[in-house]
Structure 1
Amino acid sequence: MDDVLCGLAANPALPPELVDRLIAVADDDLARALTDRVDLSHPQALALALRHEGAAAGLAREGRLTAADIDPVVWPDAALALLENGAGGPEWARLLVGDPDVLRRERLAACPGLPPDVVDRLAVDPEVRVVAELALWAPPDLAARLAFHPHTEVRGAVAANERTPPGTLAMLVTGEGVPPARWCQVCEREATPFVHHSNCPRPTCHLWPGAACDGTHQTAVHGMYEQALGNPATPVGVAAGFARHPSMPLRLRLAARPDLTPGLWRQLSADPTPGVRAELAGNPALDETQIRVLAADRDPEVRRRLAFHPRVPLDVLGPLADTARIGSTLPPRIAAATPTEVDELARSPHPAVRMLLAERRDLPATVRDLLAADPDAKVLKSIAGHPGLSERQLRAMVDRHGARVIARVAGNPDASPALLEDLVRHDPPIQRVLREVAAHGAATPPALLGCLADGRGRRAAAGNPALPPRSLAGLLDDDDWLVVRAAAANPSLPLAVMTRFVP
């Protein structure tokens, strides 16, 4: 693998004639890098596809090769890529349905608009995984038919398919009206009863740890229940039977449903497992009354999930922000706050609330400046990246709180070149500052040169067009392959250097 050539393949400034020369010598890695170029001409795309079959599939998927360019016998994966996009003719599907490669038939089963005769052949494919893939995307009538398949893997796929009729889903969950499955992935391989050991020494064994079958396919049936409970088309009356099920994963799936009845909500809000209550706290269908009840939960994960609920009242969010350890991620409720609410939040007695508000990047200048003068370092750390702050404000933050805010100041999009140079010279050096400055659009050559001492900073600096050409060329011999690729992909790399490396 030549990292310089792979980097050059991604360089937007590489002239077309050098792109042609790279195509002529492309191996697997180089072909993948060239496929990502947005400026490939159609002749170049064809030449690359002829050079590398994997590139043909990628180019077809992105629409840069059309059905007229593809011979499905020569490039079956490219033909599949077009079929996945809804292109290609029915004769391609009829050819690929007989492909000996099970992976290709499995991909074909997920394609839209297949001819009925192809669907019928896929529905009786000898590989159950192909039929399961078909069931996962099947229209209602076909999904209802495949619910009677004798293998649990197919039934599980039907249970996950949101186009499966509600009556069929109810039938799969209750077992009424459908004969018992005959096989699962365990009993088709092992004599039952069997429990797969978590440290199975067999290198060719693909059963998951703990998979078991005593003749009832219990692990596979449990998985089918999980899929059905996560399917919004499953009737809530059928799902309600799992509210007191001993399986926590099933109760988790139930707690996430948006159609919970008041009775189900009451049962799940008293669930003894904190994870179930936390899943319930994240349910977008909760109303204000339910949110206020859960806000009193003693489990920190319940309160953390509740803090990110889009309808959490602001008076509830304040105490949650203080106690739930929700970090600095902007909660949806604060992101959607009205101008009046923003003014109130900026004056909140809860520093954590002011910190979260400061993560918004669309604050009015008055609110932004108020938060930029906040006495709490957490608030300043959040507001430091806000556009529109003056150099004076940014320097004042560094003077007051130093290392606690300096990296966020370095990442401010309006940080001046002079400020960035000063931040790079901070004693002692702060690695995250070097990394932020290295990727900054206003970084000067002196600032970038100062970032080369840090490994990750050097990677970012190598891709910055402001790095001096001589230093940039020197990084092509770096010991870190990521630095080499970034430098080679830098559009400021001199043409003479590019030409020297291309065969």
Structure 2
Amino acid sequence: MSDVLLGLAGNPSLPRASVDRLIATADGELAEALAERPDLTRAQVVALAARDEGAALQLAYGGRLTAADVDPVARPLVALALLDERAGPPEWARTLACSGSAELRKKLAACPGLPEDVERALAADPDTGVVAELALRTTSGLLARLAMHPHAEVRQAVAVNEAAPPHVLAALLDGDALPPAQSCRVCQGEPDLAWDYCEGAHESTVHAMRYAALCNPATPAAAATAFAGHPSWLLRRELAARTDLPPQVYTRLAADPDARIRARLADNPVIGEALIRTLAADDDDDVRKQAAHHPAVPLDVLRRLASTVRTGPPPLPRIAAASSDEIAELAASPDSAVRMLPARRSDLPDDIRDALTRDPDAKVVAAVASHPGLTEALLASMVDRRGVHVAARVAANPDATAALLERLARQRPPARKALREIARHPRATAVALVACLDDGRARPVAAGHPALPPAVIAGLLTDDDWEVACAAADNPALPPAEMTRLVH
């Protein structure tokens, strides 16, 4: 019954009186499910927040609780949520900054727009985790001071913060421009990872700090460039992702012996055609795959890559930006792998799209089968010629008619993937949806479809599969009398 109530809590057709009754007894998951309802009245919001802390936090972050609803001393976590949303008064921040709980002070340090006096107090907090959280989040002038903090973890947090001044980030990368850190988690006996180590220079934390600084776009390129030959592949990989380096650095990284660095470089939008061609001819599959995804990859290179790398279903960026003439040229290629490239675009010209539905390669036909604009006759002809190879993609087509969906649902043997698409299709009829209930994975989806007959929905409330029962309870077509019965 608890699973059914969870589904019922989100049902948009649940009568208001039933919502009140659920709120009166709700806690935990049920309360949090109710907090997601967009139709809660003001009185229901306040009552639900009083019932459960988790629900109160959701409501606070959702902008549905106000400062007048919360006592910061009795419910500090909810008060922190409002401060995090800039909806709490400054006095709350001052009160919580004096809390005896380091965890609460740490959450406070993560809140934006804190008063200056509160930030200064948190910067001097005896708990390193609190100071590090402030260093990670603040946008104030305290960042330069925090970069010299004796604990390396605080410095690492500054390196992540994009509001840190460029000269501060450069100093953190260099290491010699700041006084050495005096401690880190590892030398204090609190390593985060099994391979963390410290032999006096806080090596693991310093490495993490440099990694963060190289990832930070505010770090000056001149400071980052020095790491092109660093022994750490992790640092070189993040350097390869930067878009502000001199061309000679990218050329050097393209010859890096580690394929992970070359693959990250191949994904960099600022490298030129010469490097793209070099990386597209790489021996490593992942490097070539990333080169195929580059938005500026030349089409002749992409044609060569089409049959050697797996690029996934979404259209490649270069294909998404291709002109109509380029699309026509690719669609007319004798190579099916090349024809597949434009087939993945859902905005093809009608004549090219329709021609690809008759392609001799079933994979090309399947790629175009879900595109909008196809007539019922074309969709049906694809099913006639290709059967189960295209059934699921046809069923996912937004223009698939109710009759065609019923036909696909009646196929024997059943096309299981097609049933899962039919179960979520807005045009699916009761006949098609009942057929979908025979498939274990389509059943929970079909149970929530509003076109399913009310009597069938009610029968699914006691299904052995909790997902099915929950989806049925969430179905807006569930009879109101059945909803009332479940609540009472």
TM bucket, shorter chain:
over 0.9
Distance in 1 (CA, whole Å) between partners of 2:469 and 2:98 is 45
- 2:92 aligned with 1:107: no
Distance in 1 (CA, whole Å) between partners of 2:97 and 2:326 is 59
Distance in 2 (CA, whole Å) between partners of 1:123 and 1:97 is 11
SS of corresponding position for 2:311: coil
- 2:450 aligned with 1:484: no
Aligned residue in 1 for 2:232: 247
Aligned residue in 1 for 2:91: 91
Q: Could you tell me how far 1:138 is from its partner in structure 2? A: 2.3
Distance in 2 (CA, whole Å) between partners of 1:108 and 1:465 is 44
Aligned residue in 1 for 2:43: 43
Deviations 1:371-404 (A, max 9, x none): 2222211111111101111122112212222222
Distance in 2 (CA, whole Å) between partners of 1:445 and 1:284 is 49
Distance in 2 (CA, whole Å) between partners of 1:98 and 1:367 is 68
Q: Could you tell me how far 1:280 is from its partner in structure 2? A: 0.3
Q: Contact (CA 8 Å) 2:420, 2:441: kept in 1 or not?
A: yes
Q: Could you tell me how far 1:462 is from its partner in structure 2? A: 0.6
Aligned residue in 1 for 2:136: 136
Question: Which segment is superposed worse, 406-415 or 288-297?
Answer: 288-297
Q: Could you tell me how far 1:210 is from its partner in structure 2? A: 0.6
Q: Contact (CA 8 Å) 2:112, 2:138: kept in 1 or not?
A: no
Deviations 1:212-257 (A, max 9, x none): 1111111111111101111112222221221111111111011111
Q: Could you tell me how far 1:367 is from its partner in structure 2? A: 2.1
How do 1:324-403 and structure 2 match up within 5 A? 324-403=309-388
- 2:208 aligned with 1:223: yes
Q: Could you tell me how far 1:502 is from its partner in structure 2? A: 0.3
SS of corresponding position for 1:464: coil
SS of corresponding position for 2:98: coil
Q: TM-score with structure 1 length normalisation?
A: 0.94
SS of corresponding position for 1:139: coil
Distance in 2 (CA, whole Å) between partners of 1:100 and 1:427 is 68
Q: Contact (CA 8 Å) 2:147, 2:168: kept in 1 or not?
A: yes
Aligned residue in 1 for 2:148: 148
Aligned residue in 2 for 1:200: none
CA gap 1:345/1:104 in 2 versus in 1, 3 angstroms: farther
Distance in 1 (CA, whole Å) between partners of 2:295 and 2:432 is 42
Number of aligned residue pairs: give it.
488
Q: Contact (CA 8 Å) 1:329, 1:356: kept in 2 or not?
A: no
Q: Could you tell me how far 1:430 is from its partner in structure 2? A: 2.4
Query: Match for 1:439 among 412, 415, 424?
Result: 424
Q: Contact (CA 8 Å) 1:356, 1:382: kept in 2 or not?
A: no
Letter in 2 for 1:234: T
Q: Could you tell me how far 1:117 is from its partner in structure 2? A: 1.1
Deviations 1:7-48 (A, max 9, x none): 111000111111111111102111000010011111110110
Aligned residue in 2 for 1:64: 64
Q: Contact (CA 8 Å) 1:31, 1:52: kept in 2 or not?
A: yes
Deviations 1:131-166 (A, max 9, x none): 111111222521111000111111111111111112
Distance in 1 (CA, whole Å) between partners of 2:285 and 2:230 is 24
Q: Could you tell me how far 1:318 is from its partner in structure 2? A: 1.6
Q: Contact (CA 8 Å) 1:328, 1:355: kept in 2 or not?
A: no
- 2:227 aligned with 1:234: no
Aligned residue in 2 for 1:289: 274
Q: Could you tell me how far 1:78 is from its partner in structure 2? A: 1.9
Q: TM-score with structure 2 length normalisation?
A: 0.97
How do 1:262-281 and structure 2 match up within 5 A? 262-281=247-266
Question: Which segment is superposed worse, 470-479 or 361-370?
Answer: 361-370
Letter in 1 for 2:154: V
Query: Is there any run of 5+ residues in structure 1 with no aligned partner, and where?
Result: 190-204
Distance in 2 (CA, whole Å) between partners of 1:14 and 1:165 is 53
Q: Contact (CA 8 Å) 1:328, 1:356: kept in 2 or not?
A: no
Q: Could you tell me how far 1:206 is from its partner in structure 2? A: 6.0
RMSD: 1.5
Distance in 1 (CA, whole Å) between partners of 2:244 and 2:140 is 22
- 2:25 aligned with 1:25: yes
Query: Is there any run of 5+ residues in structure 2 with no aligned partner, and where?
Result: none
